[in-house]
Amino acid sequence: MPTSLITRRSFVHKTSALAVPALVGLSPAVRAQTAREGKLGVALCGLGGFATASIAPELPAAKNVFLAGVITGDSAGKGRAWAAKYGFPEKNIFGYADMARLADAKDIDIVHVVTPNSLHAAHTIAAAKAGKHVMCEKPMATSSAQCEAMIAAAKAAGVRLGVSYRLQWEPHHMKAAELLASGTVGELSNGNYEFSWGYASGLADPERRKSIKQWLLDPKMAGGGAMFDTGVYPVQAACFLTGKTPIAARGLPSTRHKDLFPAGVEETMSFELTFADGFQALCRASYSGNFHQCTTYGPKGIVEILPGLPTGSVFGQSANGKPNPKRLVVNRKDVAAEDTLQLGALLDAFAASITKRTPFKADGAMGLRDIRIVEAVYASVALGGKTISIAV
């Protein structure tokens, strides 16, 4: 771990709400510098819609981190615009080909990799070699071999590697996991978990198609279809809410709109995860419509996480600096839990694990586990739906 991280002053004291009034009357530059005292600097690697709408707007309100730089394929355009908007120096604008220069950026501690799936491994390894801790978006990579290489690179460099499983810090999901572990509905029997969205309808509309992710149609870039896009959410739900890891998987793909999706990019993946104690998770990821489900059953009832608004999402992230409202319902009764800015909470927790030198629960090992589960689902498909044991 770099010495500069060990000797940082406690960010808890420096970011106390009591200190905010003291910033009034100072110049913008001085206010920005003072607000960053004791925090860890984050550089966003990839400036697409997710970084723009969901991550960056939350960092100004974060307690332990601030936006310190960017890595982009458009340094002169996007890079300078971001520097002007968020107040970091232009020296902290990097291109993908020169990430080695991150080693000289002393005010950047963490690189958050937000590029397409197939690039996660290369960008994570480059950041780690430059001595930076890495938060990698999910899915961690497009193969377990890539995940293993990422973990090895972080270990060799002495840096932390986290995976952006933000719902591990989302209060409704956290409270649901606590209630299930405490026996609220008895010994868990089964669950239904689904994250589907209307990508197909967007592709079918010539105007909407221009504004949605085109790389999801490239199996080499995406890793696969809906399973590699939103499929990790049902996997995470089944594992996080039960506190268990599945031992076998079975997959059943379907593509209704063959004119929209090329070979290797399934429109829908239904899959079953089975656990050693007999718990069964029925899961689905699909591009054919907007539907979200997170329901866990036991002999004493049901624990559900539901959208907090008609247009909300069980698994969706906060956006534009505003929470994505959710509801926690236990046996048809609402249980109180707050709505939060999920990406800010995630990065705050990652920064705290670095400065306090404590374990980070959504680490590279968890990301590798989930990709092995995904690989087992695809292996099942290749064998006509045969149940496949999971190597975890």
Query: Which among 279, 274, 309, 272 has a CA at the least distance from the CA of 292?
Result: 309
Query: What does the pLDDT look like over 264-305, one tens digit per residue?
Result: 999 999 999 999 999 999 999 999 999 999 999 999 999 999
CA dist., res. 53 & res. 100, Å (int): 27
Q: What is the pTM of this model?
A: 0.90
For residue 24, what pLDDT is reported?
Answer: 41
CB 119 within 8 A of CB 144: no
CA dist., res. 306 & res. 325, Å (int): 9
Element (H, E) at 39: none
The residue to which tokens 């031992």 are assigned: 247
For residue 202, what pLDDT is reported?
Answer: 96
For residue 360, what pLDDT is reported?
Answer: 98
Hey, how many other C-beta atoms are within 10 angstroms of the C-beta on 117?
A: 23
Secondary structure class of 213 (helix, strand, coil): coil
Q: Which amino acid is at 237?
A: A
Q: What is the largest CA-CA distance in the chain?
A: 68
Beta strands in 13-144 (DSSP E): 40-45, 65-71, 93-94, 110-113, 133-136
Element (H, E) at 117: none
CA distances in angstroms from 272 to 12, 190, 191, 221, listed in the order given: 43, 11, 10, 25
Reading the block at residue 337, the tokens are 């839990």
Secondary structure class of 253 (helix, strand, coil): strand
For residue 28, what pLDDT is reported?
Answer: 44
Q: Which amino acid is at 389?
A: S
Query: Which among 392, 340, 355, 378 has a CA at the least distance from the CA of 61?
Result: 340
CA dist., res. 243 & res. 282, Å (int): 16
Task: Give residue 87's region: left, alpha or beta (phi > 0; psi -120 to 50).
Answer: left
CB 67 within 8 A of CB 40: no
> What is the DSSP code (8-state) at residue 54?
I
Element (H, E) at 287: none
Secondary structure class of 156 (helix, strand, coil): helix
Please list the alpha-helical segments (H only) found in the chain.
3-6, 11-14, 28-35, 49-50, 80-86, 120-129, 144-157, 171-181, 199-204, 206-209, 219-222, 226-229, 232-242, 342-356, 364-382
The domain spans of the chain are 3-166, 167-340+363-389
CA distances in angstroms from 48 to 44, 176, 223, 356, listed in the order given: 10, 32, 18, 31
Secondary structure class of 97 (helix, strand, coil): helix
Fold of 3-166: Rossmann fold (3.40.50)
Q: Do domains 3-166 and 167-340+363-389 have the same CATH topology?
A: no
Element (H, E) at 334: strand 333-335
Query: Which among 332, 334, 294, 284 has a CA at the least distance from the CA of 316?
Result: 294
CB 347 within 8 A of CB 364: no
Element (H, E) at 160: none
CA dist., res. 12 & res. 375, Å (int): 41
Reading the block at residue 188, the tokens are 């868990």
CA angle (200 as vertex; 112, 388 as ends), nearest 5: 70
* Residues of the chain below pLDDT 70: 1-35, 392
What would be the CATH architecture of the domain defined by 167-340+363-389? 2-Layer Sandwich (3.30)
